[in-house]
Amino acid sequence: MVETSTNTNNNIGINMVRSHHKRKREFVPLGMNLEDVFHILEATGDLKPLQPKFPSNLAQKGEEYCKYRQVTGHFIERCGALKNAVQHHIDQGTVDPTKLDD
């Protein structure tokens, strides 16, 4: 994202351009698959499935379905929202990733 601002302290009207680069989020290795982590955190009450945007979006047999977002289109193992939610709990100290190892 490029942010442009005009310096109003001088009459020259110099535009200052600053680039803001998003840093790629680093994820702590979990030691188990994401679906198992989801089930553990769901059982402890640390995480619950999101409300689906379209409640009628039920999984069809053989179709990719995410149990966290409750939508079709991807499996839970590839769910970016779940990865971010788990990492958020780790960052906040509410989940200890070393306790997730089996």
pLDDT digits (tens, 9 = 90+) for 6-43: 444 444 344 444 445 667 889 999 989 999 999 999 99
**CA distance linking residue 51 with residue 71, whole number of Å:** 9
| C-alpha closest to that of 30 among 67, 92, 77, 70 | 77
Q: List, for residues 47-95, the tens digit of each pLDDT value.
A: 999 987 776 556 566 688 899 998 888 999 999 999 999 999 999 999 9
